[in-house]
Structure 1
């Protein structure tokens, strides 16, 4: 294994563990804190006042580290897509968090504006990728490629907008989002190494190291939250990685947990609007389990196990 992969993980983890104890009090000082919605779970009201925007740390540290260790990634179009997706969606999330935390507007960015910004990036990345890649879709197991032509644009658009929002929905319990994304990154790291995409593997391993460092302070009871800054960034990262590695279909499997969270919200909204009844006690579905009596930590562990099983399944299908 390339020594830079080990170094990127270790350095990213170490810097995050050193930075967080300084960053958390600073966020407290400037009052960048979480405000729980009144209609949310009563057990979550005690989380009000917990610093947010922790995603800043695990976005900036891996990106800066990799740019320093391998400056040539800035001239690689595929790596630029991944870096820009990670930072770009983080920026959208930061604006949203800033409006909520500083402007004290609980709704943040208007939904239409947020979606427009996410859409713009998705379109940009499609055209960037088209300059170096093709519009084929790899079908695992049978190992065949299907030419999608213009439909590939639709696929990429859905991938970026859906994945960023899906990961965002998963960020509702202490340690849930960071842990499940960490699990989902592992098979993609393996694919990147197998495909000899060392720079990409290095970035993903650095992100993994920083996420694990962040988790040290995000597990229950969380001392910091990632905010939309982190969750949107992680969703954009997963979509970009699946794109450049031509593992678009595997993203659905490996990121299946995020899909389940999204579907639970869609089912809840459709059911309530058409029948006036709720399918779940609360959506996304992780809150349903909480309201059914499961402790927050047990819900998170259960989702970790599901995430691990889906990651293994996705990897196995990917190498068949």
Structure 2
């Protein structure tokens, strides 16, 4: 039964975004919700100015519908289901507000960094309070040795850091057509398999709902993109994958499975530290995907290469957890 539910969840998520996007994209165009491209970015990206953004609304809606419909097919939604939806919707709304300010109010930087951080922390704390209300573990699991460490009260700090960190990491990665859609589909697919191996079918169903939804979105987001997911989508996806890692107690393994997101974030950190301390840049531009563009790679080549790296990271993560 659960095998069929999983398959149908992917199909439903895919169909929802694939069918809703052609309706939603013209709607965004009529509202003139077009992306503003930063002048300091690669010059080749200027032609993308005006491409509809906030497509993450469709992704989040598809995830919610596919998860609730298909979870109800074999059991009632659990507290873990609602925790995952809470993070997805919460971070998605925060991203929507950021996108709205950029696109509609024409403030290109959107929310200030402090405003965004405060919103992320509030959502993370709410997640933790519900999490502890149901007496879920405060321990984290160390890969390879499968040892657990109980963090006690410090776990709330860890959860805030993980949810905020990975939501921003996925957001940083969202800079090329189809990049986040593809890498997130791979990463969520890996966690779907691992949640299944733990018999956490509620988490697995949610994970495959995300896979189907982002793959449906990829039909319109692949190069040349007809729509961007915006912060609405990237913040929601980043928060969701961190929440899955927490609920499956595979927090540290997320560093490997989400390796592309981690590498992209490290490239920004390295670039900033290097420039502030030495006045020199390590990369031609950060995040890392822009560096490869500026050394002459085509956008599609960069995206496919990063997908391949993401797939290798996902396979390695599954291998570590299941077979080591």
TM range (shorter): over 0.9
State the partner residue of 2:205: 202
Residue from 106, 117, 120 that aligns with 1:118: 120
1:192 — aligned with what? 195
SS of aligned partner of 2:140: strand
Q: How does 1:96-111 map to 2 (within 5 A)?
A: 96-111=98-113
Name the counterpart of 2:35.
Answer: 34
1:7 shift after superposition: 1.4
* 2:242 alignment partner in structure 1: 239
Partner of 2:91: 89
Deviations 1:88-126 (A, max 9, x none): 100000000000110011010111000000011112212
Q: Deviations over 1:11-64 (max 9, x none)?
A: 221222111111111111111111101121110000001000111111111212
- What do residues 275-314 of structure 1 show as CA deviations (whole Å, max 9, x unaligned)? 1111111010110110111111111111111101110111
For residues 145-197 of structure 1, give each alpha carbon's deviation from its aligned partner in whole angstroms, at most 9, with x where no partner exists: 22221232222111001000000000000000111111111110001111112
Match of 1:176 in 2: 179
Q: Partner of 1:48 in structure 2?
A: 49
Q: Distance in 1 between matches of 2:270 and 2:145?
A: 32
Q: Deviations over 1:240-293 (max 9, x none)?
A: 000110000111110111111111111111111111111111010110110111
Q: Distance in 1 between matches of 2:149 and 2:221?
A: 42
Query: Please, which moves more after superposition, 224-233 or 26-35?
Result: 26-35
Moved more, 94-103 or 125-134: 125-134
CA-based RMSD: 1.3
Q: Using the TM superposition, name which of 182-191 and 149-158 deviates more.
A: 149-158
Matches within 5 A, 1:1-320: 1-71=2-72, 74=77, 76-132=78-134, 133-319=136-322, 320=324
SS of residue paired to 1:302? helix
* d(CA) in 2 for partners of 1:73, 1:160: 26
Contact 1:73 1:79 in 2 (8 A): no
Classify the secondary structure of the residue corresponding to 1:2.
helix
Secondary structure in structure 1 of the residue aligned to 2:316: helix
Unaligned 5+ segments in structure 1 are: none
When the two structures are superposed, what TM-score results if normalisation uses the length of structure 1? 0.96
Moved more, 13-22 or 255-264: 13-22
SS of 1:145's partner is: strand
Are 2:101 and 2:107, in contact at CA under 8 Å, matched by a contact in 1? Answer: yes
TM-score (norm 2): 0.95
Q: How far apart are 1:73 and its partner, in Å?
A: 5.0
Q: Which moved more, 1:134-143 or 1:275-284?
A: 134-143
**Matches of 1:255 and 1:65, distance apart in 2:** 23
Instruction: Assess if the C-alpha contact under 8 Å between 2:71 and 2:205 holds in 1.
Output: no
3-state SS of 2:23 partner:
helix
